[in-house]
Amino acid sequence: MTIRLGLFDSGIGGFTVLKSLVERHGDVSCVYLGDLARVPYGSKTPKEIRLIASEVVHWLNKQDLTAVLVACNTTNSLALDVVEKFAEVPVFGLIDSAVEMIYEKRVGILATPGTVFSKAYSKKILEKRPGTFVVEQACPAFVPMIETGLVNNEEICMLAKKYLKPLIESQVESIILGCSHYPLLLPILRPLVPSHVRLIDPAIGMAKNLDKLLVNDKFVGVTMQNSLNTKFYVTSDPNGFAARAKHWLKIYPEVELISLRSKACVF
């Protein structure tokens, strides 16, 4: 059976999921959808996220997939039930994957305002590990800055310090990067956090959760650069997206522009 995975995110956050997937499983065939027309998802209402999720899944259902990977925590927090209801194949999420990775008693979450509002992380952690102290911090400025490439400046460093402060003051022992864009900031975040605090990328757990589905016999040290088995689609700005893929993944893919509207437009 040919395995084909469908990943979706508002933009380039799913790159961190794709990277973990390729690092663990090699040359997996994937369809990647970046909903650039509507990034950022993190400041949208739950109703909007749920509507978008249903549009995305209806499109993914036409892509001949084996499984859907929700490479977006905001969708995972606010609309996982929508994705699961409409998807015609198994669905894998980031939040369950992240929760399986923690063992500390004091846990911090960095996430989008939508994810923090949903309390999805706190609820899941307390369900699995009652008694855990959880503190969540919304980081509204990160995704717009990452998407526009503003990641190497003083401003993002100042913001990172501000967002991390309540977590560090709460003496957390691990911090979940609860937005798939945030692992792209690891070089900035790591030096700002005490060395004993683990920074957790949920994508690593998600890649592990796919072990049963993906047989590792094709894995021969494949890297992103020699794995071109992913087809990229966006709802806006294909050239900008390709440039970002070049920067973050060191590939320059063909990117196709699509519409998620269920009915074809008549021009």
Report the interface residues with ligand DGL, using CB under 6 A: 9-10, 13, 39-42, 72-74, 112, 115, 143, 179-181
**Residue 195 CA to chain centroid, in angstroms?**
24
CA distance 211 to 26: 12
| Cα(146)–Cα(150) distance, integer angstroms | 6
Distance CA 263, CA 256 (A): 19
* Catalytic residue list: 72, 179
Instruction: Give the pairing type, strands 67-70 and 29-34.
Output: unpaired
* Spatial separation of the C-alpha atoms in residues 206 and 211, rounded to whole Å: 9
Closest distance to ligand DGL from the beta carbon of 185 (Å): 12
* C-beta closer to ligand DGL: residue 6 or 42: 42
19 close to 249: Cβ distance less than 8 angstroms: yes
Q: How far is the CB of 114 from ligand DGL (least distance, A)?
A: 7
What is the nearest approach in angstroms of ligand DGL to the Cβ of residue 226? 26
In the complex with ligand DGL, the residue whose CB is nearer, 74 or 174, is 74
Residue 32 amino acid letter = Y
Indicate the residue among 11 and 238 with the shorter CB distance to ligand DGL.
11
Residue closer to ligand DGL by CB (options 9, 31) is 9
CB of 41 to ligand DGL, least distance (A): 4
CB nearer to ligand DGL: give 144 or 219.
Answer: 144
Q: Residues 170, 193: contact at Cβ < 8 Å? A: no
Q: Is 35:56 a contact under the CB 8 Å cutoff?
A: yes
As measured in angstroms, the least distance from the Cβ of 30 to ligand DGL is 17
Quote the least distance from Cβ 77 to ligand DGL, whole Å.
Answer: 8
Neighbouring C-beta atoms of residue 218, cutoff 10 Å: 12
